[in-house]
Amino acid sequence: MKNPVQGLHHVTVMAADAQPNVDFYSETLAQRMVKVTVNFDDPGTYHLYYGDRVGSPGTVMTHFPWQGARRGVRGNGEAVATAYSVKSGSLPYWRERLSAGGFKVGETLRFGQTVLNLEDPDGTWIELVADDGLEVPQPWAEGPVAPADALHGFHSVTLWVNDHQPIHDLLVGQLGFKAVGSEPDSQTADVGGVRYRYQGAGAGVGLYVDAVERRGQPKGTFGAGSIHHVALRTVNDAEQAEYLSQLRAAGYGATPVQDRQYFHSIYFREPNGVLFEIATDAPGFDDDESVDKLGSTLKLPAWFESRRGEIERRVPRIVSREYGNEIGGGTSGRIPDEQVPAEQAPTQRQVPSDPNVLHAGRPIAEARTAMILVHGRGGTAADILSLGEQWNQSVYAYFAPQAPGNTWYPQSFLAPIEQNQPHLDTALARLDALMAELAAAGIPPERLMLGGFSQGACLVSEYVARNPKRYGGVFVFSGGLITLKHTGDLEGTPMFMGNSDRDSHIPHARFEESAAVFAALNAQVDARVYPGMPHTIVQDELDAVGHMMQALSLTGV
């Protein structure tokens, strides 16, 4: 790259109750709450941003407070700690301030620097690193801590990984960092950690990434207190586009550019599972309110303004300590249990009850939107479930049933139907049972997406055609209908279908016939043919479904 990423941009964490989060970051840590908005993928949830006076890149910690969320468990495949820089002479002040606030403060020495460590109200590891070489980019003079003692912005993040080599290959080979030291990690005494530093011109905040290899240790369990992703800086859209092309060419499966109002973002995972973002510096947090008023009101992007009333009623009431005003004031962000009919209460049953259905994403009790993913012949539930990482839609609960012997039915989907019985009926019944469980847990069909690849796509197609109703969305990657005679009304269900013009498993004519049947059933069909595409899933298909997912998540907030 001509210009390597410029260190850390922001860190995004899941929280539980919003007000303790506001109080800790804006009062205890004295970071200005520079923006109050909503999760663009889940507008019933706040997105709170804290940083220096203007929210300079490299100072911003962001949180999604999902009311009542269960605590996460730290483990491999995630960032586990965020460190701020502070002057060494201010460490006694911070030790006393944090202790007086009721926080247990530890102290370690790492790479020759003194580090204070504590947990925030949700259990997120926060560290303060003695580093005299930095100043606050934009001091918040009116904050509860004098600028002389204020946090300078980020020093580093710490990653836990099973295998160190992939993270080294990413940071050094793709992102322009350099390994600058190694030593045993204070949290895992006998396991080595490696420090990486941004190598571009000039000095700034957020220059370091520490990676600790923990072979054979469990993966993290996402929940309140878990770091969702680490964002790295790039100056503008042109540099970000260059990274998007480079990362996709290197096999990282980066998402399309997403407009986050205050910056533009792409997301990708490295092989250990750590989720990264590359975010632009512009346009910045003063794009929709003046610097003097940052964080004073709930700001919504233009595409949400028509739903402001619904959103303000849904998000919980919080008090801004800087302005002394209230924001929000609706429910807790979820429908209170006493308002949920008993037969739909998510506590009534464990979903899924079938041990051969894998689950990822939101716990069902905390989700309002879900997706069923069905693997193809020879595939696995785990394989297709990993598509959720490509879409990076945090509002979804994902479910993937596993077929016996990795096959839903023995013959081609074009074979006489009796040759695939009773396996076909059994597979359809499993989908129906999972649909019923999700409906009982509060996810009706209109809040649910179904999709699959190859044999799984054929199975999904047949299920939807035999059970016509309004679904949240349907996608068919390289598949078609098993039978072509169907009646009923899909009530405008959005449907994506993608196939090659020369797929030996899914004849082009059958694909076109299937699309015509669904259109006749009143689905809104987007059927795309990819010339010469092998029997696989391509990025354009993933992008199309990603847009469908986002559209569904914006309904019924």
Q: Which among 121, 113, 122, 110 has a CA at the least distance from the CA of 86?
A: 113
Q: Which among 457, 428, 432, 430 has a CA at the least distance from the CA of 445?
A: 432
Place of tokens 């990025």: 539
How far are the Cα atoms of 178, 266, 352 from residue 82, in angstroms, in the given order? 19, 21, 34
Q: Which two tokens stand for residue 473?
A: 């969305």
pTM for the full model? 0.76
**What local confidence, expressed as pLDDT, does residue 411 receive?**
96
Backbone angles phi, psi at 259, to 5 degrees: -85, 110
Dihedral of CA atoms 425, 426, 432, 436 in degrees, nearest 10, equals 150
Distance, CA of 401 to CA of 374 (rounded, Å):
6
**What local confidence, expressed as pLDDT, does residue 68 receive?**
77
CA atoms within 13 A on the CB side of 38: 30
Distance, CA of 314 to CA of 42 (rounded, Å):
11
What is the chain's alpha carbon radius of gyration, rounded to the nearest angstrom? 25
Fill in the DSSP letter of residue 72.
Answer: P
**What local confidence, expressed as pLDDT, does residue 389 receive?**
77
**What local confidence, expressed as pLDDT, does residue 12 receive?**
97
Distance, CA of 459 to CA of 375 (rounded, Å):
10
Q: What angle do CA 115, 119, 121 make, to 5 degrees?
A: 150
Tens of pLDDT, residue by residue over 103-148, are 999 999 999 999 999 999 999 999 999 998 777 889 999 999 999 9
Q: Give residues with Cβ within 8 angstroms of 187, minimum separation 6.
A: 212
Distance, CA of 208 to CA of 270 (rounded, Å):
17
Q: Which among 5, 38, 3 has a CA at the least distance from the CA of 333?
A: 38
CB contact at 8 A, 494 and 449: no
Sheet holding 524-530, edge to edge: 357-361, 396-401, 369-374, 448-453, 473-477, 494-500, 524-530
Place of tokens 């209908």: 481
**What local confidence, expressed as pLDDT, does residue 54 receive?**
97
Backbone angles phi, psi at 132, to 5 degrees: -85, 0
Per-residue tens of pLDDT for the chain, all 557 residues: 566 788 999 999 999 999 999 999 999 999 999 999 998 877 888 999 999 999 999 999 999 998 778 899 999 999 999 999 999 999 999 999 999 999 999 999 999 999 999 999 999 999 999 998 777 889 999 999 999 999 999 999 999 999 999 999 999 999 999 999 999 866 654 557 999 999 876 557 999 999 999 999 999 988 899 999 999 999 899 999 999 999 999 999 888 898 999 999 999 999 999 999 999 999 999 999 999 999 999 999 988 898 899 889 889 999 998 999 999 975 433 333 333 333 333 333 457 888 999 998 888 877 889 999 999 999 999 999 989 877 877 789 999 999 999 999 999 999 999 999 999 999 999 999 999 999 999 999 999 999 999 999 999 999 999 999 999 999 999 999 999 999 999 999 999 999 999 999 999 999 999 999 999 999 999 999 999 999 999 989 998 998 899 888 877 55
**What local confidence, expressed as pLDDT, does residue 346 receive?**
35
Q: Which among 507, 496, 510, 503 has a CA at the least distance from the CA of 540?
A: 496
**What local confidence, expressed as pLDDT, does residue 69 receive?**
81
Q: Which two tokens stand for residue 330?
A: 């609706």
For the stretch 425-431, contacts whose Cβ atoms lie closer than 8 Å and that sit 24 or more positions apart, written own/partner, are 427/403, 427/459, 428/459, 428/462, 428/463, 428/466, 430/354, 430/401, 431/372, 431/374, 431/401, 431/459, 431/460, 431/463
Fill in the DSSP letter of residue 333.
Answer: S
Distance, CA of 182 to CA of 193 (rounded, Å):
5
Distance, CA of 130 to CA of 113 (rounded, Å):
6
Q: Strands of 134-274 (E only): list them.
A: 154-161, 177-184, 192-198, 208-213, 227-234, 258-259, 264-269
CB atoms within 10 A of CB 318: 23
Q: Which among 367, 511, 390 has a CA at the least distance from the CA of 448?
A: 367
